[in-house]
Amino acid sequence: MHNDESDVDEVLEPTTRAWRALLVHAVTASGVIVGFLGLQAVIDDAPRSAILLLIAAQILDGIDGPMARAWQISKLYPKLDGYLLDLVVDYVTCVVVPVAFMYQFDLLPPALNMSICALVLFTSALWFSRTDMTTHDNWFRGFPATWNLVAPSCFLLNTSHLTNGVIIIVLAVAQLTDIPFAHPVQVIARRKTNLVVTVAWIAAMAYAAFDWPNTNLGVRIVLIAAPAWTLATTFEKWVAQRNDRPEPVEAVVK
Q: What DSSP string runs through 55-72?
A: HHHHHHHHHHHHHHHHHT
* Same structural domain, 99 and 115: no
In tens digits, the chain (254 residues) has pLDDT values of 334 444 444 444 555 666 677 777 788 889 999 999 999 999 999 999 999 999 999 998 877 666 656 556 656 656 777 788 889 999 999 999 999 999 999 999 999 999 999 999 999 999 999 999 998 888 999 999 999 999 999 999 999 999 999 999 999 999 999 999 988 777 877 888 988 999 999 999 999 999 999 989 999 999 999 999 999 999 999 998 888 754 333 333 33
* Same structural domain, 216 and 235: yes
Query: What is the C-alpha to C-alpha distance for residues 17 and 9, in angstroms, rounded to an integer?
Result: 8
181 DSSP β-pair partners: 140
* 149: enclosing H helix or E strand: helix 147-157
End-to-end CA distance of the chain: 55
Number of domains observed in the structure of the chain? 2
| Domain assignment of residue 38, yes or no | yes
Q: Which of 60, 78, 104 is the last residue of a domain?
A: 104
Model's pTM, two decimal places?
0.84
* Same structural domain, 114 and 85: no
Q: Which of 67, 82, 104 is the last residue of a domain?
A: 104
Query: What is the C-alpha to C-alpha distance for residues 151 and 164, in angstroms, rounded to an integer?
Result: 9
Query: What is the C-alpha to C-alpha distance for residues 198 and 159, in angstroms, rounded to an integer?
Result: 21
